Structure 1
């Protein structure tokens, strides 16, 4: 009976030992699987989580750069447009100011019709025009070079006497009319059938002064 008890005990111990062995084996397998899963989550899961964050930062940085650059470029373009508009407005104001001054000067000028011995003169008048001013130094030398200051000032004197702007004048002839005197035959571009002969004289340190305007019947220089 003791042997039977001993055999049962050994058998039980063997079965228990085998059961423990199986349990340890399964636990080892499960532990290994868990370790692999954890490592996979750390390696692959961590990279996936970090990557989008990095991309988001880059996208945000790019967006910030675009937002920083675009307003500056837009502002620069607006500044250039505003500057051009201001320059145009200044030019318009200058032209309007010159026209107003010219109108005021014309209103203050007293014109007197005079007789002419020239059969080609339809009408003639004198006026109390002021010298136009000058940039030239004395002693003055009359020159008919179209690129000279003297020529430009003579054209201005013609404008003052006839109210025809210099850039609207067709110049048919320009020449001397005596000592420190000049004579110009011109027409307006808008109506070249109208022809005027303007006589002017040089006033020392004050520039050319118109003294006589004659409207011609025929253009002798055309």
Structure 2
């Protein structure tokens, strides 16, 4: 019995080695499976996360585009509002113009109309439509020196300066006027001229006064209805 023990020990050792190999093989297989499962799990997580990231990025871009469009629309609206006057502003311009005209045109207590420095008074005289006084009238100037003597000779410098003053008061060109009468106005330095346009549609009687060193100055003008009266 004692002589067979060594053989039995060798058999047992051989069986032990075989078991270790099988266990090692099984362990290796298990490790490989664990590695494969781990890789599969991580790969799956990455695949699930990628679409979400892409979607969030796309959503952010869309929101920004919407905001940009809103800002552009607001800018367009503001530009349109600035370039186009409102209805209230359009209505205000004519109203302001009317007020200005009303300020310029006033009626005096005696019934005369005054616009700026010009006064027009209706007349009860049958030959006079209205009498006009313009405070802006100035002397027409003169080339005469020394003591002034009014002349009615039809050729002198003084006579021609009277004609110049009459044209100035009426606003008619001197070469298109008819000088019906130029006469003394009740004093040595006063004159009266009766004139008309060539077609007689405009008829005036102008009162002149002499200003030393400055010439004849219109002081009053009657707008006539007729020339059929005693000059």
Larger Rg: 2
Q: TM-score, normalised by structure 2?
A: 0.47
Where is the helix percentage greater, Structure 1 or Structure 2? 1
